[in-house]
Amino acid sequence: MKNFCLTISIAVLLLFLLNGVQAQTITTKPNQVELMKIFIGNWKAELPKDTVYYENIKAFGTGFECYDKTEVKDKMITEEKELYGYDSKLDKYVGADFVKGKDIEIWAIWFTSNTKYEGMRYSDISNPDKASFKVEGEIKPPDAISQNFIMNGKVVMTYNFKRVK
């Protein structure tokens, strides 16, 4: 009789465990390639002190190429070109930023949800909590993006982009 009760108890326990496993929801990772298409186009962010940041992003395979410039009172003060590509092993975009007059920077950028993304120097992605500088952004439909620049854990600047034609 003890063996029968033990067998029934084990069977009931297994049924509960199996039911618990089946009831778990499967979370899907954001589709990086599809979500990055949101950025394609022309963007403008108006900053303090008569400063305007422009960005033009074009698709290039599963990546994109960018041209950025910053103007103060219609005079260009910075110019930048970027080339990013999707790395399927990392499930992130990795790219080179060439700011005229400065050293190259290698960055990684990825979506953490369907509306939020992060970016940081490639050298920091193995330990993101210790990154001294990073970007966190949010897509604001239909045609806006809010992007925070974070240095040593504090927001130091926010760009509010609007899509332009």
Contacts of 7 (CB under 8 A, 6+ apart): none
Cβ 79 vs Cβ 86: under 8 Å: no
Highest CATH level, class, for 40-164? mainly beta
Confidence at residue 9, expressed as pLDDT on a 0 to 100 scale = 53
Confidence at residue 13, expressed as pLDDT on a 0 to 100 scale = 45
Confidence at residue 26, expressed as pLDDT on a 0 to 100 scale = 72
Confidence at residue 24, expressed as pLDDT on a 0 to 100 scale = 57
Q: Are strands 144-151 and 63-72 parallel, antiparallel or unpaired?
A: unpaired
Q: What is the mean pLDDT of the chain?
A: 87
Listed in order, strand segments (DSSP E) in 27-104 are: 41-47, 51-60, 63-72, 75-87, 92-99
pLDDT band of 2, cuts 50, 70, 90: low
Among residues 87, 106, 112, which one has the least CA distance to residue 35? 112
Tell me how far apart the alpha carbons of residues 152 and 45 are, in angstroms, rounded to a whole number.
23
pLDDT in tens, 11-39: 544 555 445 545 456 778 999 999 999 99
pLDDT at 51 over 60: yes
> What are the sequence ranges of the domains in the chain?
40-164
Tell me how far apart the alpha carbons of residues 61 and 48 are, in angstroms, rounded to a whole number.
35
Confidence at residue 10, expressed as pLDDT on a 0 to 100 scale = 55
Contacts of 23 (CB under 8 A, 6+ apart): none
Tell me how far apart the alpha carbons of residues 91 and 122 are, in angstroms, rounded to a whole number.
13
Task: Read off the pTM.
Answer: 0.79
pLDDT in tens, 58-115: 999 999 999 999 999 989 999 999 999 999 999 999 999 999 999 999 999 999 999 9
pLDDT at 160 over 60: yes
Confidence at residue 1, expressed as pLDDT on a 0 to 100 scale = 55
